[in-house]
Amino acid sequence: VQLQASGGGLVQAGGSLRLSCEASGRTFTDGTMGWFRQAPGKERESVAAIQWRSRHTYHADSVKGRFTISRDSAKNTVYLQMNNLKPEDTAVYYCAARSRRLIYSELGSDDYEYWGQGTLVTVSS
């Protein structure tokens, strides 16, 4: 299983980026895919998650109303649309996947089985 993340870059505050994560090697039809981020000196935190089959989603309070997670079954790809970016959104963003459905009490790093490489998002003020 490989998760290939892309779409990071440098953007000014208030701008937008869309991250993509394509899964290969298997599908997660009954599972969950998510996005995490890790800023320098901070722990990795969950940003958003989506249950593949039902499209039920979770968004962290810090990104609600600005970020949107979605998925495309045909492309086996999950997206993170990030609008109105702020300097505090600067981090390395990782996509992750798990075989189990979305459970709101299971949103930590340890709850995911598969990880992509990170993609750096830098928001300048």
pLDDT tens for each residue of 8-44:
999 999 999 999 999 999 989 999 999 999 999 999 9
Q: Which residues are within 8 A (CB) of 103 and not within 5 positions of it... i.e. 6 or more apart?
A: 111
Least-confidence region, from 20-24, 25-29, 79-83, 114-118: 25-29
pLDDT at residue 105 greater than cutoff 90? no
The mean of the pLDDT values for the chain is 96
DSSP symbol at 30 = T
pLDDT value at residue 65: 98
pLDDT value at residue 75: 95
Nearest in space to 80 (alpha carbons), one of 90, 94, 100 = 94
